Amino acid sequence: MPESTVHRPLVVSAVDTDRLAVDTLRFLAADMVEAANSGHPGMPMGAAPMAWTLWSRHLRHDPADPGWADRDRFVLSAGHGSALLYGLLHLFGYDLPIAELRRFRQLGSRTPGHPEYGETPGVECTTGPLGQGLAMAVGMALAERMTHARYPELTDHRTYAIVGDGCLMEGVSHEAASLAGQLRLGRLIVLWDDNAITIDGAVDRACGDDQLARFAAYGWHTEAVPDGTDIAAIDAALTRAKDDPRPSFLAVRTVIGHGAPDVAGTAKAHGSPLGADQLARAKELAGWTFPPFTVPEQVAATCAVLAGLGAEDRADWLGRFTEFAAAAPRRADEFARAGARTLPDGLADALSGIVGDAPRATRQSSQACLDALRPILPELVGGSADLAGSTGTAFGPVVRGDDYAPTAIAFGIREFGMAAVLNGISLHGGFRVFGSTFLVFADYLRPALRLSALMGQPVIYVLTHDSIAVGEDGPTHQPVEHLESLRVIPGLQVLRPADDAETALAWELALTRTDGPTALILSRQSLPQHDTHRRAPQPTVTPRPAAADGPGAEDLVPAPRVTATGKPSDAAVVGSPPTADDGAVAVAEPLIGEEHRTVELVATGSEVALAAAVAEKLRADGHLVRVVSVLDRTRYSPDPSACTVSIEAGTTTAWAGVVDLAIGIDEFGHSGPGAEVMAHHGFTVSSVLARIRDHLGSAR
Amino acid sequence: MPESTVHRPLVVSAVDTDRLAVDTLRFLAADMVEAANSGHPGMPMGAAPMAWTLWSRHLRHDPADPGWADRDRFVLSAGHGSALLYGLLHLFGYDLPIAELRRFRQLGSRTPGHPEYGETPGVECTTGPLGQGLAMAVGMALAERMTHARYPELTDHRTYAIVGDGCLMEGVSHEAASLAGQLRLGRLIVLWDDNAITIDGAVDRACGDDQLARFAAYGWHTEAVPDGTDIAAIDAALTRAKDDPRPSFLAVRTVIGHGAPDVAGTAKAHGSPLGADQLARAKELAGWTFPPFTVPEQVAATCAVLAGLGAEDRADWLGRFTEFAAAAPRRADEFARAGARTLPDGLADALSGIVGDAPRATRQSSQACLDALRPILPELVGGSADLAGSTGTAFGPVVRGDDYAPTAIAFGIREFGMAAVLNGISLHGGFRVFGSTFLVFADYLRPALRLSALMGQPVIYVLTHDSIAVGEDGPTHQPVEHLESLRVIPGLQVLRPADDAETALAWELALTRTDGPTALILSRQSLPQHDTHRRAPQPTVTPRPAAADGPGAEDLVPAPRVTATGKPSDAAVVGSPPTADDGAVAVAEPLIGEEHRTVELVATGSEVALAAAVAEKLRADGHLVRVVSVLDRTRYSPDPSACTVSIEAGTTTAWAGVVDLAIGIDEFGHSGPGAEVMAHHGFTVSSVLARIRDHLGSAR
């Protein structure tokens, strides 16, 4: 957008349009909070000038198409200031009518308490959990450069974020800002709403960071704007930031609750309505005589013109795209395909090609999957929090500040930052993303994983070293509770494959899922291949519904998730091939007829082989035994006619609601060779067998 | 320890003692890793000189008493270098014989893969999860200043930490270092093992931070030591650091795997044994002719002298303590009592005094508990991640860099840092600690909470706004899966009280527990007082054992936890008083005889009142109904003769293993007024009633 935009002769009254627009944003926000009797007026009132300056003079977007690939991204990392964002979206003509502003924070409105991706046109990501907006903005800015490296003809946009003090205190701000500096993301511009106030009071009660020096230490361009109401100064700083090849951090000094006579500059303005009296006095002081929820005509007209310029920008881009598509139809198709998250043909075949005979760790099976995917899925990018080799996610040369063409990203030892950046890349669009670390360190990235699920982003988390079998590294590195702690996150698909074939299937399920994240839970130790997986396809049967009168049966299959997982067939009897077809669960029955079954052993991942060995012994006892490998527990329905036993090297509490006997581990592990640690905690044929025999004996 | 210590004429051969001691540490570590065929030789070989310089010239400790209150603390934040720490502990005479070094990383040894608090004398905290050692060191240094403010006569020690690149990339390093700068923790000295290598390769693949500038931005004293083998330079830098009133950050440039000819300076030296050949060549190059696991006599003699100086220091301190105790016996008793984690008399009475008639949120009940505790439990300190008011944890004036006497700490918007710092304060000793945030942000601090549990530290986590009833702030602020995600952490006591009386009991249980953490799960919204809680005590009965043949019954009570929780009686029938006495569960039966019961409604926290209302309706249907408030689910055993139904505004998967029908929420919430959101997700009398009636109908 030309710099001159707002200096066109739009001003039809003596009142300065900028001043009027800023006050519109301030009072729309305060009116929203007042109407809801809930929310945060202070941030919008203080940050309205910087937001207006950015949106009126710099942000390149077309409100008519919030999904335009080459738009600038705007992230309100200080998500509690949502009323400011909704005001901006309304003013500029996004599909967010004033009626929705009046329904701020009401059930079913498009104006939830914090910005939520997917609920409101123009909201680029869900924010509120502090610091993550900044990190997602880093991801978006990285995605822009990576897209530019692939499609320079189609890519020329920036990412802007407004962050608050809380964002900067959160550790994830360090991880993300450090990565942004390392990767020289010059198209990222961060405005800090430097209002010196947090919920509990003055920032200097808790934080004395020299933020400019800190960001300079990360390799950023930094600048202070001492008066956050000075639109010309903000504008000039933004212009300099755009010209700087480094990511930019602008400290814009503001007053929280600007204009509210009694509470401005205090924590009282942060998170409560101003109250009718205080709001009335603020309006009076500002000379604001309009009724609540008013957009002055002059402001509306200005914004319409600005939106029109954005529409022109998009029209130009569409023209360029048409030329590009004519000149390079295959690349244009690829661009569109990746943008639509459509998978190329041949993916399942490529994945199933990795299946072999030799035992190997599923992390290695997963590495083979990635190797197979690389040539056919160019939009797949990702990396590791410094465990690429260990987690089986080596993916070629890594992206650097002078080369964004590679598909691998060295995230550094920054799990949380990695996950939030992956969210940002995924939200940007055009890529499928994965990131890896040890399962035990899923705790470090959990807040971002939750946002993946809440935003419905198909981020693939590769989490290896998945049990106490990790061994010598000890309990700090041995997951115990982590599988269950992930399974309880709504909308997260958790898959724990047992061998090559299931790992390939897990990758297929992760990739075919486009509306939510997946966690692949993989072993450190070598696992056998379950031969029968590779037999010719067996007949598949429809899964049995859970017995209606079984204890807790109605809760066996968790209540509907926010988003459906991929295709079913994630529970496989050992002896049947896993498939992702037909929506049917592969439960072929190679061993015995269902009518004779007495014991059903259910296991996941590395414990499937243990279950198979135990089954042999039980059969020698005269039991009729089926072994089920459960890639995804939500797909498993127990056989109501059998005694069901789960075997998984993790917490048993939730399994206890699924099966009759849950064998697992509910305490921390120990340092020692993996097999010895497993034995110490009862994961041997003899220990498991003894527990099952006891159970069968007592159940008689 | 006098600076001259190591310059005494201890050197009896031509070989420099320092050089010999450093090589001893290097080769002990390499020998350990080689014997285990597992571990990290590179860090110890590179960092041995700085560790030796610190331990020989600065660290004030007495290996004969690792619990001496006024010892200096040493934290190996780069916990994968455990072999270096074990070597130091062995050399200086801690109870860690060479036989234990030979059993490095073996099951049951005192030399686990990563340092584990409680497993090895002299190990101050569990490290390995990167960054947390640094943050715990900040907590220890803060505890030292807070102890000094209370007992200046008894307190004069420092905290040292060695951190690696990974620690500095982790976000928690930002949170902790920023807080340390803010609080001017001048007695904290951090040595950075600046070896420019991480697991995946060169640091500069992923990180270009100017770490000195970054720490200076936090208000730290910083200095670079360009040659990490230069003991005199390290010594001088440590001396300057001790003289500086700010916390100090020393960047000590090292070579990972120093001395191993083929792998030194590369990632290959990080996490694998050197191999027999490489180790032999390293020893040859160093002129090291001793057999594996040798401590040269000259080194042993030097360390014995140094340990003797530490013993003298402690003897001096004990003398001062005796004088102090004579002059101020009451204060000496308090010092000893707090150090022993013994509670003062009157605690239960003080807590039960907060019980009132008026409805209030349990976060407010909890604030009343804290107010009641403050006068009688002076060692209780804590604070909030900037939500002191919202979470009911306002606790008086806050600690500042010029005043460490207050009991409240403003942690800033740094949940993870808060939890890790609390671990550090708790490990330091002399304090009981709490920290607060919203329950949904327990995700942010989860890695440190896990370490609280693993280390058996009685950190109290006050987690409020505990369900979708949070309302308008929306799904980013509404916990759903969090209760279960906490319940699966081994050794964490999770308590969700329903009213004043249970909140008081929860605080009592949290405080009487001295060997593990507690999470108090508290409501945002107002809750009624369950009158009968305050009746005269009812007869208590022993809890029924879980039915042996019920489906999954043997798993109803989770397998033994690492540490036992506090006294039982955490499940209370509505209508009985909660007590913490006698090890008996309070299950008085005011309503109906057990033989007639048909429905048992189990609820926690805010859902107890809902359950009570539903019970009334079910009784009108002709059912005999008991309502059980379950403060701690691990203490609840379902009535095998009744149809059991749980009602909790959280994930149902684990409840499904406990009761017949689990009513909860397994999807994300929505933004809207709390009561509307609850109703939308089925938490109304009519919705719950309909589900139970359906269930009872289908179960017939």
| pLDDT tens digits for range A349-371 | 999 999 999 999 999 999 999 99
Q: Does the pLDDT of residue A584 top 90, yes or no?
A: no
Closest by Cβ to B562, choosing from A105, A414, A668 = A668
% chain A with pLDDT above 90 = 87
Contact A115, A155 (CB under 8 A): no
Asked if B207's CB is within 8 angstroms of A412's CB, the reply is: yes
The C-alpha atoms of residue B187 and residue A502 are separated, in whole angstroms, by 54
Among A116, A415, A508, A607, the active-site one is: A415
Secondary structure in 3-state letters for B479-533: CCCHHHHHHCCCCCEEECCCCHHHHHHHHHHHHHCCCCCEEEECCCCCECCCHHH
pLDDT of residue A77: 98
Mean pLDDT of A550-579: 38
**Spatial separation of the C-alpha atoms in residues A211 and A217, rounded to whole Å:** 10
User: Is residue A582 predicted with pLDDT exceeding 60?
Assistant: no
What pLDDT sits at residue A572?
59
The predicted model gives B392-419 an average pLDDT of 98
Residue in A169, A453, A561 closest to B175 by CB: A169
Q: Which of B169, B389, B477 sits opposite A128 (nearest CB)?
A: B477
**Nearest-CA residue of chain A relative to B130?**
A413
State whether B113 and A472 contact (CB < 8 Å): yes
All residues at 6 or more sequence positions from A167 whose CB lies less than 8 Å from its CB, including other chains: A77, A78, A130, A131, A133, A134, A173
Q: Is the dihedral of CA A260, A265, A268, A271 positive or negative?
A: positive
Query: If DSSP codes are grouped into helix, strand and coil, which group holds residue A633?
Result: helix
Give me the sheet containing B518-521, strands edge to edge: B408-410, B380-384, B432-438, B460-464, B518-521, B493-495
Top residue of A472, A489, A658 to mutate, by most chain B CBs within 10 Å, is A472
Amino acid at A591: L
Single-letter residue type at A235: D
Helices (H), A3-131: 17-36, 42-57, 82-91, 98-102
pLDDT averaged over chain A? 90
Max Cα-Cα span within chain B? 95
pLDDT at A64 over 50: yes
**Degrees to nearest 5, angle at CA B582 with B579 and B583:** 90
Q: CB–CB of A652 and B558 under 8 A?
A: yes
Query: Chain B contacts of A77, Cβ < 8 Å?
Result: none
Region A315-343: what's the mean pLDDT? 98
Closest by alpha carbon to B428, among B57, B6, B68? B68
Q: Which residues of A347-360 are buried (b: 16+ CB within 10 A; e: fewer)?
A: bbebbbebbeeeeb
Question: For residue B62, what pLDDT is reported?
Answer: 98
| Phi, psi (degrees; rounded to nearest 5) at A216 | -60, -35
Q: Measure the CA–CA gap between A397 and B429, rounded to whole angstroms.
A: 48
Report how far residue A667's alpha carbon sits from residue B642's, in angstroms, rounded to the nearest whole number. Answer: 31
Choose from A204, A416, A488 for mutation: most chain B CBs within 10 A: A488
Contact check, Cβ <8 Å, A114/B387: no
Residue B415 is among the residues annotated as catalytic for this protein: yes
Q: Binning pLDDT at 50, 70 and 90, where does residue B373 land?
A: very high
Percent share of chain A, pLDDT over 70: 88
Which 8-state DSSP code applies to residue A659? S
Question: Cα-atom radius of gyration of chain A, to the nearest Å?
Answer: 28
A193 neighbors A254 (Cβ within 8 angstroms): yes
Over residues B368-376, the mean pLDDT reads 97
**H or E stretch including A434?**
strand A432-438
Residue B588: how many other CB atoms lie within 10 Å: 17
**pLDDT, tens digit, 9 for 90 and up, residues B674-692:** 999 999 999 999 999 999 9
Q: Identity (one letter) of the amino acid at A491?
A: G
3-state helix, strand, coil in chain B (%, to 5): 45, 10, 45
CA nearest neighbour of B218 among B453, B476, B412:
B412
* Residue-wise pLDDT tens digits, A248-270: 999 999 999 999 999 999 999 99
Q: Which of B458, B411, B455, B456 is nearest to B436 (CA)?
A: B411
| Of A3-17, A485-499, A536-550, minimum mean pLDDT range | A536-550
Q: Under an 8 A CB cutoff, do A698 and B127 touch?
A: no
Judged against a pLDDT cut of 90, whether residue A146 lies above it is answered with yes
The CA-atom distances, in angstroms, between B14 and each of A322, B25, B230, B298 are 81, 19, 19, 11
This complex has an ipTM of 0.92
The residue-averaged pLDDT of A57-82 equals 98
Q: What angle do CA A685, A687, A688 make, to 5 degrees?
A: 65
pLDDT grade for B537, boundaries at 50, 70 and 90: very low
Find which of A555, A632, A695, A696 to mutate to test the B interface (most B CBs within 10 Å of its CB).
A555
Nearest-Cα residue of chain A relative to residue B200: A386
CA distance A60 to A62: 7
Alpha helices in B64-210 (DSSP H): 82-91, 98-102, 132-150, 165-169, 171-182
For residue A550, the chain B residues in CB contact (below 8 A) are 551
Q: So what's the pLDDT on residue A586?
A: 36
pLDDT of residue B565: 30
Nearest CB neighbour to B558, from listed A39, A487, A653: A653
Query: From the CB of residue B340, how many other CB atoms can be counted at a distance below 10 Å?
Result: 11
What mean pLDDT is predicted for residues A600-609?
96
Residues of A in contact with B556 (CB under 8 A): 656
pLDDT of residue B698: 75
User: Span B561-582, mean pLDDT?
Assistant: 41
CA dist., res. B444 & res. B386, Å (int): 14
Mean pLDDT for A376-398 is 97
Which residues share a beta bridge with B197? Answer: B202
For the whole model, what pTM was predicted? 0.93
**Burial level of A458, CB count in 10 A (0-12/13-18/19+)?**
buried
Per annotation, catalytic residue among B124, B223, B379, B415:
B415
Structure tokens at B501: 């009386």
- What is the per-residue pLDDT for B536? 34
Residue A698: the pLDDT is 75
B190, pLDDT greater than 50: yes
In this predicted structure, what is the pLDDT of residue B558? 28
A532: Cα within 13 Å, side-chain hemisphere: 17
Do B551 and A554 make contact, defined as CB atoms within 8 angstroms? no
State the nearest Cα–Cα gap between B297 and chain A, in angstroms. Answer: 31
Q: Which residues of A621-659 are buried (b: 16+ CB within 10 A; e: fewer)?
A: eebbbbbbbbbbbbbbbbbeebbbbbbbbbbbbbbbbbb
| Strand A599-603, strand A571-573: pairing | unpaired
Give A211's contacts in chain B (Cβ within 8 Å).
Answer: 217
In angstroms, the separation between the Cα of residue A109 and the nearest Cα of chain B is 8
Write out the H or E segment, with its range, that includes residue A685: helix A685-699
Do B94 and B111 meet the contact criterion of CB atoms below 8 Å apart? no
Among B370, B631, B612, residue whose Cα is nearest residue B497? B631
Q: What is the pLDDT of residue A43?
A: 97
Nearest residue, CB atoms, A473 vs list B114, B666, B695: B114
Min Cα distance B129 → chain A (Å) is 7
CA distances for A115 relative to A86, B247, B473, angstroms: 8, 39, 10
Mean pLDDT of chain B: 90
- The single residue listed with the structure tokens 């020893």 is B283
For residue B396, the chain A residues in CB contact (below 8 A) are none
pLDDT confidence bin for B659, thresholds 50/70/90: very high
Give the span between the Cα atoms of B465 and B475, in whole angstroms.
12
- Subunit contact A209:B181, Cβ cutoff 8 A: yes
Cβ of A207 and B550 within 8 Å? Answer: no
User: Above 90 in pLDDT, residue A536?
Assistant: no
Closest CA to B59 of B49, B73, B70: B73
pLDDT score for B542: 35
Amino acid at B115: P
- Dihedral of CA A685/A691/A694/A699: which sign? negative
Residues of A in contact with B198 (CB under 8 A): 386, 412-413
Residues from chain B contacting residue A175 (CB–CB below 8 Å): 169-171, 174
Tell me, what's the pLDDT at A19? 96
Q: What's the pLDDT band for B573 if we cut at 50, 70, 90?
A: low
Alpha-carbon span A404 to A400, nearest angstrom: 6
What's the token pair of residue B506? 């929860």
Residues sharing a CB contact under 8 Å with residue A655, sequence separation 6 or more, in sequence order: A646, A648, A662, A664, B555, B657
Closest chain B C-alpha to A306 CA, distance in angstroms: 31
- The helix-helix angle for A82-91 and A42-57 (nearest 10°) equals 40
Looking at beta carbons, which residues of chain B come within 8 Å of A698?
A: 548-549
For residue B553, what pLDDT is reported? 31
pLDDT band at B122 (very low <50, low <70, confident <90, very high): very high
Q: What is the pLDDT of residues B295-346, one digit of tens each?
A: 999 999 999 999 999 999 999 999 999 999 999 999 999 999 999 999 999 9
Q: How confident is the model at residue A697 (pLDDT cuts 50, 70, 90)?
A: confident
Q: Is the pLDDT of residue A565 over 70?
A: no
